[in-house]
Structure 1
Amino acid sequence: MIVNRYDRGFEAESSVMTPKTSPGSGDLPHKEDLARARAGDDAAFSRIVEPLRRELRAHCYRMLGSIHDADDALQDALVRAWRAIDRFEGRGSLRSWLYSVATRTCLDSMSGRSRRALPIDLGPASLHAVTDTAPREDVAWLGPYPDSALPSSTYEVRESVELAFIAALQDLPGNQRAALVLFEVLGFSVGEIAEMMDTSTASINSALQRARTTLAKSTDRQQVTLRRLGDDRVRRVVTAYATALSEGDADGLVALLTEDVTWSMPPLPHWYRGLAAVTDFAVTVPLTGCGSWRYRITRANGQPAAAFYLWDEAAGTHLAWSITVLTLRDDRIRDLTSFLGRQHFPSFGLPDAIA
């Protein structure tokens, strides 16, 4: 994963890490708009912030693990920035300054909150289908992020929101998480990060080293697999999976899965590992116990995904049910993470119901 690039950041003769890329300082807004913003013109402020909004939103998601929390944090950060814009003198990068404000806002938001989790974090896998479980409302669940909301579709950007990476970030304390994302993902220097977080370069180097140690086992890189397969084959896999589920085709579904496949469904606490357990769940619940399904192919967290709609008799239509993110190994599905809930659909630009 991204963290594996740390080895290229260490300098044998220096205590300061040098990132692979560095944000440019030439991203200052038009001087007239900056002057107007500093004088209290909110329209001018909106114009200078708008080009950076999507990447700041993605940054807040990496920090917080939820698009809804990211939206709240970004709104709060932009309010803070607006109130302090008169103190931005333009000597450095507006981008760096806004990232500083956004990072501090996210750290404040994280204070006193529990980490975002997936069912695998709560306990062992279930061996057989559990049909009487209830959602865990006391858990702060990790959420999906639509690819359509990313600032770009580059390999590096998609890799920086992969589900395994976002989940691994949740294991890090706030300062380590911020340092890792700012350095490894966004390319800020240790000196810039120290200034953003109002600390020393030694402290940032220490935080990066501890973060690297914690994430050392997070070696999965979906972008390598997806690029090797190519878009057409990836789409065939996700379409075959969604079709098998919607048609109740157990054999077709099982043929797509690896032997060590996992399936989890936050906010339900139970999850399944291995072909036997996942097959038992699939046959007992979605294939035979739920009713009629419809689907739309989409992308989330830089990975293939399917949005599922379940028939609702009272509504007389198929209502939004889940966003299922697929993690592949070769051309088989290794992990299915089904984020249940209609609240996920608006950010993907998906309808609430389909016929």
Structure 2
Amino acid sequence: MPDELLQRAREGDREAFAALVEPHRAELQLHCYRMLGSLQDAEDAVQETLLSAWIGLAGFEGRSSVRTWLYRIATNRCLNVLRSSTRRPVAPVPLPVPPPEPYRSGEVLWLQPYPDLLLDGLPDQLPGPEARYESREAISLAFVTAVQLLPPNQRAVLLLRDVLGYRANETADLLGVTEAAVNSALSRARTAMDAAPPDRTRGPEDSELVERFVEAFTKQDVDALVALMTSDVWVRMPPLPFEYNGTEDVHRFFSALAAHRREIDTMVPVRANGQPAWGEYIRDPVTGGRHLIGVLVIGIAGDRIHELTHFETTVASYFGLPRTLVRGDR
């Protein structure tokens, strides 16, 4: 059947082409997201990948699978985006109050969350024998953030080798480089990943911890909130260039925020990157309606929270979160 579809697609049958490539769309989008850190950019990259595949179908000689051929196109498309000076700019999003001095300025300003609903559509495709990361680990925000700090070629090699499990010679063929170049880039990438803050979002989630977090967060009870965190907790707010590390700095940040912002009225649960997440809503004192102010994702390590990432509202549509909730909605 694949050979028949391929022949029909080469003859200009768009339906046959769609049947050939659509089974790979979800995993290609996830791969592009890992490469680019942005769901919006990943969607664009996949669209351009499939367009390039349709235009270049006559040149596909069948020496690899259609899946591998599509990964070659998608990876190189992402590399072009990363090397381009025209990547989508990040619009500044002001805080209601100037934050306290951050631990450091964040370097991954375009990071976006990835809805778990899109993960549900992935095919049951096991990674190759060379893979080093489990599927859950390779989608966490901590992993994706660390990957964004790698140079483009190291990023591509790490994802192809350690996440997808391609062999060194296969990766070299995908990228059009030598096997020695692949091995060198992989060694440097692994060293950088080992030096990144550890990703501890593994194991079962503590539902009681999540409930206590929601209660403390909605009431802006800073002491109770910080008591639920690890001593080395991280708070990030892309696209704002601020990061806070450790309970002392995080306490100062949430205390400053609580003094100038109304309490969160409603938190609508969703999931992102395999982690608990919520749409955050505050109540309008005049209309009684509730307005979305962001999407919050937490990382849990054992019985503590070790990471909070607040995203602005442009990602809401990916999670089916309305901008406003009318009175009575929950």
Please report the TM-score for the alignment, with normalisation by the length of structure 2: 0.83
Q: How many Å apart are 1:223 and its aligned residue?
A: 4.3
Instruction: Work out the CA distance in 1 between the residues paired with 2:79 and 2:146.
Output: 17
Tell me the distance in 2 between the aligned counterparts of 1:46 and 1:328.
Answer: 39
Aligned to 1:212: 190
8 Å CA contact 1:103, 1:178 repeated in 2 = yes
CA offsets per residue over residues 227-277 of structure 1, 9 Å max, x none? Answer: 2xx24x2x3322321222223434432331223333222223333333233
RMSD of the TM alignment (CA)? 3.0
Q: Which moved more, 1:238-247 or 1:71-80?
A: 238-247
Structure-to-structure mapping, 1:250-329, within 5 angstroms? 250-286=222-258, 289-312=261-284, 316-329=288-301
Instruction: Return the offset for 1:152.
Output: 6.3
Residue 113 (structure 2) pairs with residue 144 (structure 1)? yes
Contact 1:245 1:293 in 2 (8 A): no
Q: 2:48: which partner in 1?
A: 76
User: Partners in 1 of 2:246 and 2:322 — Cα distance?
Assistant: 33
- Aligned 8 A contact 2:213 2:228 in 1: yes
**1:346 to 1:314, Cα distance in 2 relative to 1, 3 A:** farther
Quote the Cα distance in structure 1 between the aligned partners of 2:6 and 2:50.
15
Matched residues in 2 for 1:329 and 1:115: separation?
34
Indicate conservation of the 8 Å contact 1:239/1:297, yes or no: no
Contact 2:109/2:241 (8 A) holds in 1: no
Over 3 Å counting, the alpha-carbon distance change for 1:58 and 1:315 in structure 2 is: farther
1:199 aligns with 2:172: no
Letter in 2 for 1:200: T
Unaligned runs of 5+ in 1: 1-28, 119-128
Change beyond 3 A, Cα 1:246–1:287: farther
4+ long deviations beyond 6 Å: 152-155
Question: Displacement, 1:46?
Answer: 1.1
* Equivalent-residue separation in structure 2 for 1:54 and 1:207 (angstroms): 27
SS of aligned partner of 1:60: helix
Aligned mates of 2:62, 2:226 — CA distance in 1: 58
- Once residues 293 and 108 of structure 2 are traced to their aligned partners in structure 1, the CA distance between those partners, rounded to angstroms, is 19
User: Retained in 2: the 8 A contact 1:304–1:325?
Assistant: yes
Partners of 1:199 and 1:281 lie apart in 2 by: 46
Q: Counterparts in 2 of 1:1-355, with a 5 A limit?
A: 30-113=2-85, 131-132=97-98, 140-150=109-119, 151=122, 156-218=134-196, 220-224=198-202, 227=203, 230-231=204-205, 233=206, 235-286=207-258, 289-312=261-284, 316-340=288-312, 342-355=313-326
Counterpart of 2:198 in 1: which secondary structure? coil
- Aligned letter for 1:146? P
- TM-score (norm: length of structure 1): 0.77
Amino acid at match of 2:117: S
Aligned residues: 307
Please give the per-residue CA displacement for 1:154-190, whole angstroms capped at 9, x wherever unaligned: 9922211211211111222111111110011001111
Q: CA deviation at 1:311?
A: 2.6
Contact kept, 8 Å, 2:168 with 2:179, in 1: the verdict is yes
Q: Which moved more, 1:206-215 or 1:275-284?
A: 275-284
Equivalent position of 2:129 in the other structure: none
User: Unaligned 5+ residue runs, structure 2?
Assistant: 100-104, 127-132
* Percent sequence identity over aligned pairs: 41
Deviation at residue 72 of structure 1 after TM alignment: 0.8
CA distance in 2, matches of 1:333, 1:241: 9
